[in-house]
């Protein structure tokens, strides 16, 4: 696990701080967080003073916490991106655990977990966006956590079921209903399929 953590940090840490905001997503999210900081309004994200309803606010709330805590040290826009780094690390960790526990009791459990996380790190779309202020990273972390709780729900059905639902809620508050709807429908279909096969 230590080697895996070092690789994950080597992937996430470079590019988070030490440069001006990048175009498009990075600029928009940092400005939304900056407006929250200036106005004190955490409910409605604003861009240049105007309401921005394209993205739910969960990522911006988390980023604002990091900006307030570490802005004095790294600068406001760099501190905002620290939220992205934490979310990517959380996504990699939960995906590692999900793949590992899916192979529980087998010798390939730990390699399977590391392989799943390395595949995510190697995805082209994540290489740039992992170092930007992007609300989708909160959805990614929530989805990986939801996958972990879903795969382990047979161990503690009530607690892990609640955790799965909370993860879907976090994904909804990050980028909207699409991802939680897909995960929720998949879990429901899989559950019904297992029940049907068990009853036949």
pLDDT of residue 114: 87
10-residue mean pLDDT profile of the chain (200 residues): values are 82 79 82 92 84 89 96 92 95 93 71 89 85 93 95 87 95 94 89 67
Name the β-bridge partners of 46: 51
Classify residue 41 by its DSSP letter. -
CB distance 154 to 36 below 8 Å: no
d(CA 20, CA 59): 20
3-state class (DSSP) for residue 51: strand
Q: What is the pTM of this model?
A: 0.90
- Give the H/E segment covering residue 36: helix 25-39
pLDDT of residue 93: 94
Token pair for 143: 């989805």
pLDDT of residue 105: 62
Q: Helices (H), strands (E): how many in the chain? A: 9, 2
- Give the H/E segment covering residue 50: strand 50-51
Direct distance between the N- and C-terminal alpha carbons of the chain, in angstroms, rounded to an integer: 42
pLDDT of residue 197: 63
d(CA 66, CA 133): 12
pLDDT of residue 192: 81
């Amino acid at each position: 696990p230590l080697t895996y953590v070092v690789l994950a940090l080597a992937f996430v840490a470079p590019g988070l701080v030490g440069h001006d905001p990048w175009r498009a997503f990075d600029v928009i999210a940092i400005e939304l967080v900056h407006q929250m900081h200036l106005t004190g309004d955490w409910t409605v994200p604003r861009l240049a003073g105007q309401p921005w309803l394209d993205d739910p606010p969960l990522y911006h709330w988390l980023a604002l916490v990091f900006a307030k805590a570490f802005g004095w040290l790294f600068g406001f826009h760099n501190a905002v991106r620290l939220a992205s780094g934490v979310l990517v690390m959380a996504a990699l960790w939960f995906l590692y655990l999900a793949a590992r526990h899916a192979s529980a009791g087998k010798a390939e459990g730990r390699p399977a977990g590391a392989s799943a996380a390395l595949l995510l790190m190697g995805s082209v779309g994540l290489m740039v966006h992992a170092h930007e202020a992007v609300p989708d990273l909160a959805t990614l972390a929530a989805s990986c956590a939801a996958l972990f709780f879903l795969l382990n729900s047979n161990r503690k059905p009530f607690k892990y079921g609640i955790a799965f639902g909370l993860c879907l809620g976090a994904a909804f508050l990050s980028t909207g209903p699409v991802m939680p709807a897909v995960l929720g429908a998949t879990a429901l279909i899989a559950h019904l399929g297992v029940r049907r096969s068990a009853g036949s």
